[in-house]
Amino acid sequence: MRKKTQCNASCVGLLVIVWKTKKKMDAIEAVHAALSTVAKNQGCTSSILVGTVSRHTLPSTASFSNVSALHSKAHASATSIVVLQRTLLATSESSLVFSARFENPSTDAATTAGVEPKPLSSDPALTTSNGKRKRNLCEDQEEAVTKARKRLSSVNAPELESELEMAQAVIERVLTLRGPAGEVLVQSYALLTKKLKPSDAMPSVVIAIRLNSGIPVHVSSLKRCLGTCWKDGVVSSSNSVNGVCDRDLPLTEEGEASKRMGNLPMLIVTSIPKPSKYECP
């Protein structure tokens, strides 16, 4: 009798686990369906649910507003059953992909929902020599952006000085971006001045950033780094966009090798918002 009672209890427990798992997956599927509707409206060419990850293939070039629409919907769709852990952007081969990962709130992973990757210096998985090499790379990049800003200051109108200062600050923040395992994301960047429209009274300060292929970036982190520049820009898996091309953002040796294998980097192009006195009516 005791064995029969224990068996019945085990069966009931198993049924409860199965029921809870199904309830969770039904909820995730509902969230994915809602996200897929928004994705279609934003020009996404495909949507697929992989486990608890809602994955959407964007056009090769997508605006910040396209990405923001998906990011906002992912947050709005989260429930007590389905917790949003993070939203990510990455290139996958030649495609540009937005992903939203959801978790069961009863799991340990849910306690870290929305948590950003650890800073490079605090990641125990990195060796001392590797960490030092990456820190040196970042220092070289930060020195280079200072030189680029000074070079542009010398050949442009004084009116652009404040915009160049803002652009330098944006790039310095972007250089701190890391992948999930502490990978350095930025491969190359450029500070440019150009008129975006023939009717523009003044040239704009344009920021172009190339991220390494295949390494996802947190959408929240990218938005925070770009600040006010997360307004009118694009992300792309194309070689060039808005007049910015390989000549402006040369690939590293690793980047060239990755591209030859069909893995394209991510290109981000945006501009410093113009003061109202320069905006055309």
Domain spans, the chain: 2-112, 120-278
pLDDT of 81 reads 82
Q: What is the value of pTM for the model shown?
A: 0.77
Give the C-alpha separation, 96 to 85, whole Å. 20
User: Could you tell me the pLDDT band of residue 196, with boundaries at 50, 70 and 90?
Assistant: confident
**Predicted local confidence at residue 107, as pLDDT:** 47
Average model confidence (pLDDT) across the chain: 79
Lowest mean pLDDT among 8-17, 87-96, 258-267: 8-17
Q: In which band, very low, low, confident or very high, does the pLDDT at 2 lie, cut at 50, 70 and 90?
A: low
pLDDT digits (tens, 9 = 90+) for 240-251: 888 888 888 888
Q: How far is CA 142 from CA 31, 138, 147, 278, in A?
A: 41, 6, 9, 29
Q: Does the pLDDT of residue 252 top 80, yes or no?
A: yes
Give the DSSP per-residue string, 224-270. HHHGGGTTS-EEESSS-BTTB-TTTSPPPHHHHHHHHTT-PPEEEEE
Cα 248 versus chain centre, distance: 21
- What is the average pLDDT across 124-142? 47
Percent above pLDDT 90 for the chain: 46
In the numeric block, the tokens 């605006």 are attached to 63
- Assess whether pLDDT exceeds 60 at residue 175: yes
Does the pLDDT of residue 199 top 60, yes or no? yes
Number of H helices, E strands in the chain: 6, 10
**Cα of 227 vs its chain's centroid, Å:** 14
As a whole number, mean pLDDT of residues 66-74 equals: 97
Token pair for 146: 């200072």
Percent of the chain with pLDDT over 70: 69
DSSP 126: S
Measured at the CA of 247, the angle between CA 242 and CA 269, to 5 degrees, comes to 30
Residue 150 clears pLDDT 80, i.e. is over it: no
Q: Is pLDDT at 146 greater than 90 in this prediction?
A: no
pLDDT digits (tens, 9 = 90+) for 36-46: 999 999 999 99
Give the tokens for residue 159: 């009116």
Tokens representing 67 are 């990405």
Measured in residues, the chain has a length of: 281
Instruction: Specify which of 14-28, 107-121, 136-150, 214-228 reaches the highest per-range mean pLDDT.
Output: 214-228
d(CA 182, CA 84): 21
Q: What is the mean pLDDT of residues 180-207?
A: 86
Beta bridge mates, 47: 56
